[in-house]
Structure 1
Amino acid sequence: MKVFVTGGSGFLAQQFIKMALAEGHEIRSFDIAEPKEDHGEEWISGDITDSEALETALQVHKPDTVVHLATVLTDVCANDPGRGTRVNCLGTANAFHAAYKTGVGRVIYASSVSALVPEGCDIKGDGRPLGPVSPYGATKACVFR
């Protein structure tokens, strides 16, 4: 399967890429940062907030699936909420819209437990309702509203 990974240079993405390559998938990694390690994937330099660049990359590479892992984490969102919103909210919208426009059959999105009500409510695990308590959690929850 041809898989296009946004945020492909990040920690979670690098773990996914190693696993997917081991299973024989063809991987394209889209990120502004070059990967620290080369696992055999093709790296495409691109910014998730640039919808045209993302759409062009999807048109050229024609993946079966997009795995959307591009994000900035808690510290960045706390220190620069505008950047957090651009990358985590706009970037996610760009990923879904570009996949739709280019005919990609599946998008896999990794959210975060930070989007949910903190532990302590009556509902446990992933069944908890949305209730972020940090800027990062809010940017991950925005996809669900």
Structure 2
Amino acid sequence: MRILIVGGSGFLGNELVRRSASDGHVVAATYLTRPGTAAGVEWLPLDLRDRTAVVDVIGGFGPDVVINAAYRQSDWETTALGAAHVAVAVSGTGGRLVHVSSDTVFSGKAITYTEDCVPDPVSPYGAAKAAAETAVQVIDPAAVIARTSLIIGDGGSPHERLVHSLATDGMRGVLFTDDVRCPVHVSDLAAALLELANSDRAGIHHVAGTDAVSRYELGCLIAQRDGLDPTRLSTGRRADTDLPGPIDVRLDCGLTQRHLSTRLRGAREFVK
């Protein structure tokens, strides 16, 4: 199978590239500023804001499957319009699209969200992600839209690097005790996305971990795993700040999990 990973040089993208290549697929991956390091992969420069370039790259590779894992939190054009450009290009080739979305499409007012809940974003990034979902659904109704949460690995994710900086480098900052998510391990997420790509599923799917934990609790778990002192992690409350975005968002993944053989573990299990 020919698989194209859009945003292949990112944290999730790199895992998708690695797993797809190891499974014997023909893999290409796009990047904006610099290619990834995986060997045996065709690295393609691409700016998602350029619709013509998106159509040319996807049409030129001729993928059976495209997984769009690209985003830029501060850039509406990349996150929203770029997703639409990818959907248009994939629909033109007859390939299968899996679009990675986010729990930031929700405000947190309901706390727990199922796949049929209507997005009500409260941040610019959440609004861009919600717009991207709408565009993908309209352009390619057969596509999978996979909402996920905070992505964690075995040391390489942004949140793990933040915890290390706070615990060892004297970096000033706090981890919120009221900012709750359902973290997912990057390998579980990548496996689930590829499984969905190889299925006949369509529409919204929730792909996150089973444990709802605060950023502070998650930081403590990471610190303990990595031999750091959790008492060096300072705490705060997101509710006491003016940062835009939801506070407590928990994705209910029960429906999606019933269609997956990949088990979506909780953070208290995979951060050890």
Fold match (TM-score > 0.5): yes
Q: Which residue of 2 is the match for residue 110 of structure 1?
A: 100
SS at match of 1:110: strand
* Greater Rg by CA: 2
- RMSD of aligned alpha carbons: 1.8
Once the two structures are TM-superposed, the CA of residue 43 in structure 1 deviates from its matched residue by 0.4
Worse overlay, 62-71 or 125-134 = 125-134
Q: Pick from 129, 146, 156 the counterpart of residue 140 of structure 1.
A: 129
Distance 1:40 1:4 in 2: 13
Distance of 2:60 and 2:80 partners within structure 1: 24
The answer on whether the counterparts of 1:28 and 1:42 sit within 8 Å (CA) in structure 2 is yes
* Structure having the larger proportion of residues in helix: 1
The number of residue pairs the alignment matches comes to 134
- Percent identity of equivalent pairs: 28
Q: How many Å separate the matches in 2 of 1:136 and 1:125?
A: 20
In the alignment, does 2:52 pair up with 1:52? yes
User: 4+ residue stretches of structure 1 with deviation over 3 A?
Assistant: 122-128
TM-score, normalization by structure 2: 0.46
Q: Secondary structure at the match of 2:27?
A: strand
1:87 aligns with 2:87: no
1:122 to partner: Cα distance: 6.5
Tell me the equivalent position of 1:61.
Answer: 61
User: Runs of 5+ in structure 2 lacking a partner?
Assistant: 135-272
Answer yes or no: is the 8 Å Cα contact 1:31–1:48 preserved in 2: no
Other structure's SS at 1:138 match: helix
Please tell me whether the aligned partners of residues 3 and 63 of structure 2 are also in contact (alpha carbons under 8 angstroms). Answer: yes
Q: Is the 8 A contact 1:66 1:104 kept in 2?
A: no
Query: SS at the partner of 1:111?
Result: strand
Q: Determine the C-alpha separation between the residues in 1 that align with 2:94 and 2:33.
A: 24
Give the whole-Å Cα distance in 1 for the aligned partners of 2:124 and 2:20. Answer: 31
